[in-house]
């Protein structure tokens, strides 16, 4: 197999920003997949809250420092829209709406026949199936104000935003690249981070359901051990409080699996695999708990032992940024 080099001119910066960190991944080559570098900068509480920028000036200053240190000035940029901002909804539209008319139709129907919990959305859609009278589509939407706030911030700092994505798709993209997917699989992905948990249900390559659950984050109970390329997060609070948080999330997961099986599919479809990833320091414990308490097989996402990826030492906290970097890789 020939080496496919990614030159400095076409290397994309891939950024994932959440309430507690900024993470970055850059590829060196796509075949074999080789990661050039990955970096992380922690964010103090209050700069981003629930995915929304709360302190624009401080975030801008930190990002400017990151861009300088990571040498990504003037790069094309891919970024993730924060999970808390994203809505996924299955809707039906008239069958006679043509593909080239769909975007305009959806735009006109926002706020009338299509109701979202925010005004002025940015959106995309994925076609599902056509019946005798309707077309079913999956609508992805987020509030334009918040998405543009990120995009404009990046542009002000001399980055060029060229693509926005959502975290379940980035996670699935990496899972698919590793060659573990099955056409008949109904995948339940769990991104378990220290400030939130995002759950999605995939039928094939399509995320039909997505939910995010915030986790309480008290900075005085966490120690951040800063490394050259990634940070380590250590919880020093009451362990029972953390165990209760994990137990609550497991209950929400079970509710969502039952909702998918019984409410959405009348008992005819059910989850075939739970896929776990995240930056939470108790992820190995969470994995064991899920395996012991679930009738569904559970896997933790790993790069080790996979021949398709040359650099396997990148930490799981950066897997979303790596999945984002795979967006154009075939």
* Domains of the chain (ranges, CATH numbers): 4-85+144-328 (3.30.420.40), 87-142 (3.30.1490.300)
The residue-averaged pLDDT of 146-158 equals 97
Q: pTM here? A: 0.93
**What is the per-residue pLDDT for 206?**
93
Distance (Å, whole) CA 256 – CA 296: 13
Distance (Å, whole) CA 223 – CA 101: 52
**What is the per-residue pLDDT for 120?**
92
Query: What tens digit of pLDDT does each residue of 133-146 get?
Result: 899 999 999 999 99
Q: Look at residue 286 and tell me whether its pLDDT is greater than 70.
A: yes
**What is the per-residue pLDDT for 329?**
73
Looking only at the bridges linking them, the beta strands covering 231-235 and 206-214 are unpaired
Query: What tens digit of pLDDT does each residue of 178-188 get?
Result: 987 777 899 99
Burial category of 181 from C-beta neighbours within 10 Å (exposed 0-12, middle 13-18, buried 19 and up): middle
Grade residue 59 by pLDDT with cuts at 50, 70 and 90.
very high
Grade residue 295 by pLDDT with cuts at 50, 70 and 90.
very high
Find, among 324, 13, 24, the residue nearest to 177 by Cα.
324
What does the mean pLDDT of the chain come to?
Answer: 92
**What is the per-residue pLDDT for 330?**
60
Q: Look at residue 9 and tell me whether its pLDDT is greater than 60.
A: no
More confident residue, 229 or 329: 229
């Amino acid at each position: 197999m020939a080496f496919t080099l990614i030159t400095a001119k076409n290397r994309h910066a891939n950024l994932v920003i959440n309430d507690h960190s900024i993470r970055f991944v850059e590829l060196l080559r796509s075949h074999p997949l080789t990661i050039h570098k990955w970096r992380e900068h922690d964010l103090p509480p209050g700069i981003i809250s629930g995915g929304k920028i709360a302190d624009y000036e401080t975030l801008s200053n930190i990002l400017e420092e990151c861009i300088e240190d990571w040498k990504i000035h003037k790069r094309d940029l891919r970024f993730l829209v924060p999970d808390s901002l994203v809505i996924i909804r299955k809707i039906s539209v008239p069958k006679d709406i043509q593909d080239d008319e769909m975007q305009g139709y959806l735009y006109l129907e926002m706020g009338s026949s299509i109701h979202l919990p925010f005004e002025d959305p940015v959106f995309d859609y994925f076609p599902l199936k056509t019946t005798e009278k309707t077309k079913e589509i999956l609508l992805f939407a987020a509030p334009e104000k918040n998405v543009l706030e990120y995009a404009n911030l990046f542009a002000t700092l001399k980055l060029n935003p060229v693509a926005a994505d959502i975290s379940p798709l980035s996670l699935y993209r990496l899972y698919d690249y590793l060659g573990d997917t099955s056409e008949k699989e109904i995948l339940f992905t769990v991104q378990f981070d220290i400030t939130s948990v995002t759950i999605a249900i995939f039928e094939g390559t399509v995320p039909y359901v997505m939910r995010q659950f915030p986790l309480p984050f008290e900075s005085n109970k966490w120690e951040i051990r800063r490394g050259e390329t990634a940070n380590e997060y250590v919880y020093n609070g009451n362990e029972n409080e953390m165990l209760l948080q994990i137990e609550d999330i497991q209950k929400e997961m079970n509710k969502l699996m039952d909702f998918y099986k019984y409410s959405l599919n009348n008992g005819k479809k059910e989850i075939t695999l739970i896929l776990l990833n995240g930056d939470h320091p108790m992820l190995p414990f969470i994995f064991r708990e899920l395996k012991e308490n679930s009738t569904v097989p559970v896997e933790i996402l790993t790069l080790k032992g996979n021949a398709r990826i040359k650099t396997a030492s990148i930490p799981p906290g950066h897997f979303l940024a790596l999945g984002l970097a795979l967006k154009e890789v075939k």
